[in-house]
């Protein structure tokens, strides 16, 4: 079974957790794209009244195009549930996000949300996180100095670029530096260190954030709690 089929299975199952009148956070990425499609079908079929807060321009555009009402994070006082993808997650629900360069908005929405569900294909469930490069969003001003600090610290940094060789810009017009670490044995220590670095806006370590992980696999959908 290919990855997209597993992502789609997890995405479609996750919308069962949505209830009428919820304020819902919508993540970003290819798995979330499947989820938003399934959500739009439920909204239409059951005439659900939802308010959705999106974690990227891309997700907001998709939601709006499918008739899902979208509001800004600043205009809601809470979020009941956020459904998002992830790049890696371990058995303790510590994870890496930001493969789609949306981890700043994703973390803001996740930390506002009472409950967080991640939707992933089985290959993203790992023993130790870190094989997936850890994204770090940095402001362009002085980003070379931040890069040099990460290099000196032995964190194998690399500016993320497009296929055309341009630096990737986030929705906030910042750069992304990916850290090629192989494995992250002390995620809390690394998260604290990264958060202390001037110029770092946000990193992709999502620790103690998620409540449930919906995993798509060839055997079916498994819900980890």
- CA–CA gap between residue 109 and residue 214 (Å, rounded): 19
**Could you say whether residue 84 binds ligand 5RP (CB under 6 A)?**
yes
CB 109 within 8 A of CB 79: yes
Around Cβ 67, how many Cβ atoms within 10 Å? 9
> Annotated catalytic, 12?
no
Q: Does 30 bind ligand 5RP (CB under 6 A)?
A: yes
Choose between 49 and 180: whose C-beta lies nearer to ligand 5RP: 180
Determine the interface stretch with ligand 5RP among 80-88, 137-145, 170-178, 190-198 (rule: CB under 6 A).
80-88
- Residue ranges for the binding site for substrate? 28-31, 84-87, 97-100, 124
Catalytic residue among 88, 106, 137, 202: 106
Beta-carbon count within 10 A of 124 CB? 26
**Binding of ligand 5RP by 131 (CB under 6 A):** no
Q: Crossing angle, helix 3-14 and helix 30-46, to 10 degrees? A: 40
Question: Rounded to the nearest whole angstrom, what is the least distance from the CB of residue 100 to ligand 5RP in the complex?
Answer: 3
Taking the complex as a whole, how short is the minimal distance between the CB of residue 24 and ligand 5RP, in angstroms?
16
Is residue 222 exposed (0-12), middle (13-18) or buried (19+ Cβ within 10 Å)? middle
Among 23, 24, 43, 98, interactor with ligand 5RP by CB under 6 A:
98
């Amino acid at each position: 079974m290919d990855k997209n089929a597993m992502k789609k299975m997890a995405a479609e199952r996750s919308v069962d957790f949505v209830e009428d009148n919820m304020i819902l956070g919508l993540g970003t990425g290819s798995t979330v794209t499947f989820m938003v499609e399934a959500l739009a079908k439920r909204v239409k079929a059951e005439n659900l009244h939802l308010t959705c807060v999106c974690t990227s321009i891309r997700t907001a555009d998709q939601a709006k195009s499918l008739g899902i009402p979208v509001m800004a994070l600043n205009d809601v006082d809470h979020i009941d549930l956020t459904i998002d993808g992830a790049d890696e997650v371990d058995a303790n629900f510590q994870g890496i996000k930001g493969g789609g360069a949306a981890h700043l908005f994703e973390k803001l929405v996740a930390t506002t949300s009472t409950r967080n569900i991640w939707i992933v294909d089985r290959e993203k469930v790992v023993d130790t996180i870190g094989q997936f490069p850890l994204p770090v969003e940095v402001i362009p001003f002085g980003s070379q100095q931040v890069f040099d600090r990460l290099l000196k610290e032995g964190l194998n940094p690399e500016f993320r670029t497009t296929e055309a060789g341009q630096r990737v810009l986030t929705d906030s017009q910042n750069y992304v530096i990916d850290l090629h670490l192989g494995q992250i044995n002390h995620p809390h220590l690394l998260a604290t260190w990264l958060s202390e670095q001037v110029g770092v806006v946000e990193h992709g370590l999502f620790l103690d954030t998620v409540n449930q992980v919906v995993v798509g696999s060839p055997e079916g959908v498994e819900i980890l709690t």
